[in-house]
Amino acid sequence: MKAYVETVESPAGPLAFAVDERGALILLKFSEGEYERTIEQDLESEGFEVGRDWGRTARAREELLEYRAGERRTFDLPLAFVGSEWQQAVWRALTRIPFGETRSYAEVAAMAGRKGAARAVGRANSTNRLALVVPCHRVIGADGSLTGFAGGVHLKTRLLDHETRVLAGVVKQ
């Protein structure tokens, strides 16, 4: 298995991403995130041979940069979900949260077909490998508080602030 890695600027700082041989997005990591390993280390530990190929990463790069510029609100690139049926149902529900809006964990549970499974949504969110594109940053606590984000709540704040600025017509690049 091969994975192709690249880094682009995002509203939350440098963002490393990887695509597979088909160009499907398989992993995203914010450089300023609180992670134990690099994206390359994660991929290699999963058996991927890591390389660079600007052609294979072009579509993901373009869509991520359009998001940063405020020109894209949804993503169209192919996604490689690896997880249980429940995790995938949650991740698909996340992609339906509109740009610039938030939903509680309970609301996402209902969207995924398991009303009352808010904690299970939290667990599924914590395993989301495609943060930003599968927008787990748009999920908040029932009281409106910003809770958990794999790379750190500071990154979640930056992404939500970016979307607010885009909707207000003010984007800082």
Active centre residues (catalytic)? 136
Neighbours of 165 (CB within 10 A): 15
Q: Is the CB of residue 149 less than 8 Å from the CB of residue 131? A: yes
| 133 CB-near residues (< 8 Å, 6+ apart) | 25, 28, 63, 64, 75, 77, 79
Q: Is the CB of residue 67 less than 8 Å from the CB of residue 75? A: yes
- Give the dihedral of Cα atoms 43, 44, 48, 53; nearest 10 deg: 70
Rg (CA), the chain: 15
Q: Is the CB of residue 33 less than 8 Å from the CB of residue 150? A: yes
| 70 CB-near residues (< 8 Å, 6+ apart) | 162, 165, 166, 171
